Chain A
């Protein structure tokens, strides 16, 4: 199970998982676009003829209009027209009057403007968003110098004229670009073509008005939010970088843009640029702290600590664990020197995470969690608990304790509305249930996560749903579906994953591995070992142990026993070293199977017993049933079918309830085999016939399971067994039918695998 909380990177713009751009205070100025918006607002207050529905639509429109980057007039008019055509016309008219008139008109407009808001109780209260905007504008206008006022007016005229020019000769292009108007963040990308150039110029120049501080901040916050929650909806990396570079070119002090550029570079795995941007950000960042010596020092020191911490995070993301550790040590040292316990807690979490990634087993103590609670860091505290739970799950703690702990953290999450952690918690539950082998519970938890409404306000039409938790849950879901033979559904889920987590993104590896594993299983079932072999390389690239294991499976299937044995032995040693319990058990089972193929059933027994003991110790119920299945088979081969049947009863129930189709089939087949063998020792003929008929039924059931997962070889073998049984029962017609089916299948596939009898 991949660690569920890799997304724990500290972002100074973020508190409790919400990204805020720094608020610098009022930095806004008048542009022609804003004058037009003012006119619109003015009209809205004056006009009485707007219907209620229109008014509601307009009200909804106002906030995006105030926050978005400046639009061209045609875009603006179009937007307003969608809500209230009549108002758009009035605004257009007023602007035309002003633009065709004199400077006086504009001055008059601003003179008149405040009156509706100050005198009486009007719709726009002084401190409301609209009221503030208007007051900002009036203030900014009054501050303008003589030449600036004139400049503004000429800008207004140009603004209007460019619209007129665009509108009158050809309406088509204008309409063409307006198609996407509903998509607010797209507007940023719109560029107005340079009109001044008489010749068509080859260089594209954005003449979009400069962003005001406010607009820039809004843009950054929006993009950062999108990056965090739904990367696909954010601007694509190149466009975003271009926008940021543009912004930074004109205002290099705009530190937040550097941070976003860092995040953006991380998207495309560009270590060079991301390091550069990150360091630049912290160089530029002066945390508000005032000029006084102690205070300023504190601010500076704080940013230093987090700078080192972020650098550590960066190296960690790129897999440079040694560098990350050095940076982290630095952060810890500085934090210790200045007694910053909060920062230290962050460092501790990272340290733990780093150790985990490096593969060494470190333990996050409960003490750390308690400290986090003490310093009011619920985020860290519950992350700590979740890590502890994960450790406990792998280390074989009992389920009730784990679930109890998770319940406690859930309480914490809901209390502090840490929706991200709630997601992680559910994903973790999914994983734990899956590990225990309760596929139904896992399925249910995954569905809960997917259909849950996020706590976070749905911003910009984006649910927070591209966290790792979602990826994990979806991967489990697709694997679970594949296990049940619902390959179409599984691939549908994978397709969705591919869309949501494009291959370059951080969590893409999860679904890639999952995808390959499913393909591998299908190829193995189908007997296409060469195909499976080619997939092994891909799997090994994503997960070393998994790759080795699959390699061994292929070798085993191809009867290269010695090589398979070598690989498995190596893997076993490795897994025992890293304490990968699940994999250890699987490897032991495979080793036992290898022993069977060389007919050393007695040798396999101690291995199987050991694996059974281990899986019971770690409460891995499904693997335990699997072990029992293997044990039973060994017993059958050793000639004690009664005993085999006895212990099979233990395993058959969980397998039928939770198991994969393949395992169900194998279990039923084994039952049938045992029944056949025991039937031969039945005293009376009638009992014997009865037993055989039951066996035939079981075989039938196993057959249907195998068909569902395209296990042709096994299906063939089933037909063979059935034919033999029918023969001994004297049912000729059925026998012939089965024989024919067997022959059909046999012609299709070359018989090469292990003969049925020596295989589970």
Chain B
């Protein structure tokens, strides 16, 4: 996995290539690709004067079109697309042709946005189309057939196809574009949005360049294949991109996705140090701060971003999070709404707004918000989970099963959904199903560490004596391994149960250890003492066992010898209804 393209050996060459592509993209007005490439180039050592790559070759055609091109480019930069296109018509050089088509495309997009505001009615809203797309497609496909398109032309053709919802054709064209001009990040990025799953990714053939590694790392992050993504990024850093803010931000996002909060936070802090005026990804950062309830940091971030640019979606989300943390949910909802006004397709804001409404106990509004989030992206597990929670609050455990199941489908290895499912089944008195859920939640790595206790309690309810003991033992072991002593209540119940259990099974040594531990907790102290008394009574009657009660607290003997730790394959959650 870590094997990178061999081209990474020659960073100078890569730097040269980046410099070239930056110039090319800038000439064509592809600013996002310029930004990406420049960011990378900045991370590499500067080239000495004599190593600088020569400017791209200047053809006869370019010379002819030069004046028209410079005029049009200035219009283009000033967002006067129609005007730019007008002066570029008839130009024959590749560069001018691309700019010509690109301005026509952008003009159409701009008009579409304007039209949407002006549309006649709600049902018509979605039907406003970029009128120029069809013409562009026709012209570009002619050129494409005649093989006259360069890498940029192919990219534009792909974009047009994607906008026309011809996704299959678009993917083919983008792949072709990456082969033709591998350095253009825009084409790769489009592919990231179009590739839906691993199989699809495997079936495609990409040019074997160093760009491919960046692409793969990016798409792994998108597809939640975090392990692979992190490996890729780590090896990229090792190769020499350690200063790249792009990579740092991607790693931070990846850690966020697997909920490794500490690492993600440290990455974000590093990012902020290197690039203090960055706004991108800061909403993710604020989510992390929120989860950790780091109020001062979040407040600082919010104020800082607000100073930089207060009319950015990310800024609004950060401020929303800030208010939410301060329990000012109305204001928080207001800021999320503002974020949505700035970009209605902003997925995170919808979900967060749903959360806020939930806090405000406005369930119907919350449901609406979550539904909107799902509308934007069907694969948003948080929205499904949120819907489930809403209905759970409305005391409809059966109804919310469906939503939790959807969330679980999207994140099969997330214990929170499984615990939620288990709780619902428990409420519906389907204890067997519930145990399956809890066990599975434990098997996939329980975040909140509640699954085992719940499982144990369920087994107690089912009147099984061994299973709860096993669960408690594993639970106690885990807690002590982590060294966290937060959930004392549950620990005391665990010890209490185990003490009784061992006492019943006549394992008095273990029982007394547990009873002693019970005495450490307020709520179980009395029971622990009485159990100790009972034990000594029984011992007094029976054989005098050589008990050394000064065992240090290691549960080694307890669990390894006497208690059969359940080694069960994670059960399939039988989905009773689809």
Interface presence of A296 (CB below 8 A): yes
A342: min CB distance to chain B, Å = 19
- Selected contact of B121 from candidates A210, A320, A323, CB within 8 Å: A210
Interface presence of A307 (CB below 8 A): yes
- Selected contact of A213 from candidates B123, B371, B402, B428, CB within 8 Å: B123
Q: Which residue of A lies closest to B394 (CB)?
A: A304
- Given A148-B118, A213-B121, is A284 in contact with B364 using a C-beta cutoff of 8 Å? no
Q: Are A271 and B121 in contact (CB under 8 A)?
A: no
B142: min CB distance to chain A, Å = 9
Q: Are A210 and B123 in contact (CB under 8 A)?
A: yes
Interface presence of A179 (CB below 8 A): no
Q: Are B122 and A296 in contact (CB under 8 A)?
A: no
Q: Annotate A12-52 by CB proximity to B: 1 below 8 A, 0 otherwise.
A: 00000000000000011111000000000000000000000
Contacting residues, chain B, for A283 (C-beta < 8 A)? 367-368, 370-371, 387
Size of the chain B interface, CB-CB below 8 angstroms: 35
Interface presence of B485 (CB below 8 A): no
Contacting residues, chain B, for A334 (C-beta < 8 A)? 394-396
Interface presence of A279 (CB below 8 A): yes
Q: Are B123 and A212 in contact (CB under 8 A)?
A: yes
Interface presence of B540 (CB below 8 A): no
Q: Are A300 and B363 in contact (CB under 8 A)?
A: yes
A-B pair count, CB < 8 Å, reads: 106
Interface presence of A326 (CB below 8 A): yes
Interface presence of A252 (CB below 8 A): yes
Contacting residues, chain B, for A315 (C-beta < 8 A)? 577
Interface presence of B124 (CB below 8 A): yes
Interface presence of B120 (CB below 8 A): yes
A63: min CB distance to chain B, Å = 21
Contacting residues, chain B, for A292 (C-beta < 8 A)? none
- Alpha-carbon distance A308/B122, docked complex (angstroms): 30
- Alpha-carbon distance A669/B114, docked complex (angstroms): 90
- Selected contact of A27 from candidates B121, B127, B399, CB within 8 Å: B121
- Given A272-B578, A323-B577, is A148 in contact with B402 using a C-beta cutoff of 8 Å? no
Interface presence of B138 (CB below 8 A): yes
- Alpha-carbon distance A19/B397, docked complex (angstroms): 30
Contacting residues, chain B, for A322 (C-beta < 8 A)? 576
Q: Are B402 and A250 in contact (CB under 8 A)?
A: no
Q: Are A326 and B398 in contact (CB under 8 A)?
A: yes
- Alpha-carbon distance A322/B577, docked complex (angstroms): 10
Contacting residues, chain A, for B258 (C-beta < 8 A)? none
Contacting residues, chain B, for A31 (C-beta < 8 A)? 120
Q: Are A212 and B577 in contact (CB under 8 A)?
A: no
- Alpha-carbon distance A253/B121, docked complex (angstroms): 13
- Given A283-B367, A286-B364, A304-B394, is A212 in contact with B399 using a C-beta cutoff of 8 Å? no
Q: Are A296 and B364 in contact (CB under 8 A)?
A: yes
Interface presence of A119 (CB below 8 A): no
Q: Are B122 and A27 in contact (CB under 8 A)?
A: yes
Q: Are B577 and A275 in contact (CB under 8 A)?
A: yes
Q: Which residue of B lies closest to A197 (CB)?
A: B134
Q: Which residue of A lies closest to B364 (CB)?
A: A300
B82: min CB distance to chain A, Å = 16
Q: Are B134 and A216 in contact (CB under 8 A)?
A: no
- Alpha-carbon distance A249/B122, docked complex (angstroms): 11
Interface presence of A737 (CB below 8 A): no
- Selected contact of A199 from candidates B124, B138, B395, CB within 8 Å: B138
Contacting residues, chain B, for A254 (C-beta < 8 A)? 123
- Selected contact of B123 from candidates A147, A199, A250, CB within 8 Å: A250
Interface presence of A1 (CB below 8 A): no
Interface presence of B375 (CB below 8 A): yes
Q: Which residue of A lies closest to B124 (CB)?
A: A210
Q: Which residue of B lies closest to A203 (CB)?
A: B166
Q: Which residue of A lies closest to B119 (CB)?
A: A148
Q: Are A216 and B138 in contact (CB under 8 A)?
A: no
B352: min CB distance to chain A, Å = 18
Q: Which of B129-145 contact A (CB under 8 A)?
A: 134-135, 138
Q: Annotate A262-295 by CB proximity to B: 1 below 8 A, 0 otherwise.
A: 0000000001100100011001101000000000
Interface presence of A145 (CB below 8 A): yes
Q: Are B122 and A311 in contact (CB under 8 A)?
A: no
Q: Which of A319-342 contact B (CB under 8 A)?
A: 320, 322-323, 326-327, 329-330, 333-334, 337
Interface presence of A614 (CB below 8 A): no
Interface presence of A67 (CB below 8 A): no
Interface presence of A53 (CB below 8 A): no
Q: Are A333 and B123 in contact (CB under 8 A)?
A: no
A218: min CB distance to chain B, Å = 13
Contacting residues, chain A, for B403 (C-beta < 8 A)? 279
Contacting residues, chain B, for A333 (C-beta < 8 A)? 395
Q: Are A307 and B399 in contact (CB under 8 A)?
A: yes
Interface presence of B125 (CB below 8 A): yes
- Alpha-carbon distance A152/B115, docked complex (angstroms): 13
Contacting residues, chain A, for B483 (C-beta < 8 A)? none
Contacting residues, chain B, for A329 (C-beta < 8 A)? 398
Q: Annotate A399-416 by CB proximity to B: 1 below 8 A, 0 otherwise.
A: 000000000000000000
Q: Which residue of A lies closest to B403 (CB)?
A: A279
Q: Are B402 and A275 in contact (CB under 8 A)?
A: yes
Q: Are A251 and B402 in contact (CB under 8 A)?
A: no
- Given A199-B138, A323-B576, A330-B396, is A280 in contact with B123 using a C-beta cutoff of 8 Å? no
Contacting residues, chain A, for B578 (C-beta < 8 A)? 271-272, 275
Interface presence of B126 (CB below 8 A): yes
Contacting residues, chain A, for B402 (C-beta < 8 A)? 275, 279
A196: min CB distance to chain B, Å = 6
Q: Are B138 and A197 in contact (CB under 8 A)?
A: yes
A148: min CB distance to chain B, Å = 6
Q: Which residue of B lies closest to A272 (CB)?
A: B578
Interface presence of A198 (CB below 8 A): yes
Interface presence of A211 (CB below 8 A): yes
Q: Are B122 and A326 in contact (CB under 8 A)?
A: no
Contacting residues, chain A, for B387 (C-beta < 8 A)? 283
Q: Are B123 and A211 in contact (CB under 8 A)?
A: yes
- Given A272-B578, A323-B576, is A247 in contact with B123 using a C-beta cutoff of 8 Å? yes
Contacting residues, chain A, for B375 (C-beta < 8 A)? 252
Contacting residues, chain B, for A29 (C-beta < 8 A)? 120-121, 124
Q: Annotate B537-578 by CB proximity to A: 1 below 8 A, 0 otherwise.
A: 000000000000000000000000000000000000000111
Contacting residues, chain B, for A216 (C-beta < 8 A)? 123
- Given A210-B124, A275-B402, is A196 in contact with B134 using a C-beta cutoff of 8 Å? yes
Q: Are B118 and A147 in contact (CB under 8 A)?
A: yes
B321: min CB distance to chain A, Å = 25
Q: Which residue of B lies closest to A155 (CB)?
A: B120
Contacting residues, chain B, for A251 (C-beta < 8 A)? 122-123, 125-126
- Alpha-carbon distance A199/B140, docked complex (angstroms): 13
B29: min CB distance to chain A, Å = 27
- Given A147-B118, A148-B118, A199-B138, is A327 in contact with B127 using a C-beta cutoff of 8 Å? no
Q: Annotate B92-124 by CB proximity to A: 1 below 8 A, 0 otherwise.
A: 000000000000000000000000001011111
Q: Annotate B344-383 by CB proximity to A: 1 below 8 A, 0 otherwise.
A: 0000000000000000000110011011100100000000
- Alpha-carbon distance A286/B120, docked complex (angstroms): 24
Contacting residues, chain A, for B398 (C-beta < 8 A)? 308, 311, 323, 326-327, 329-330
Contacting residues, chain A, for B364 (C-beta < 8 A)? 286, 296, 300
- Alpha-carbon distance A576/B546, docked complex (angstroms): 67
25 contacts between A and B (CB under 8 A): A29-B120, A29-B124, A148-B118, A151-B118, A197-B134, A197-B138, A212-B121, A212-B123, A216-B123, A247-B123, A250-B122, A250-B123, A250-B124, A251-B125, A251-B126, A271-B578, A280-B371, A283-B368, A286-B364, A286-B368, A308-B399, A311-B399, A323-B398, A327-B398, A330-B398
Kindly list 4 other residue pairs between chains A and B, CB separation below 8 angstroms, not including A311-B398, A334-B394: A308-B396, A311-B399, A320-B577, A330-B398
Q: Which residues of A contact B (CB under 8 A)?
A: 27-31, 144-145, 147-148, 151-152, 194, 196-199, 201, 203, 210-213, 216, 247, 249-254, 271-272, 275, 279-280, 283-284, 286, 296, 300, 304, 307-308, 311, 315, 320, 322-323, 326-327, 329-330, 333-334, 337
Nearest 5 interchain pairs by C-beta: A250-B126, A210-B124, A29-B120, A326-B398, A300-B364
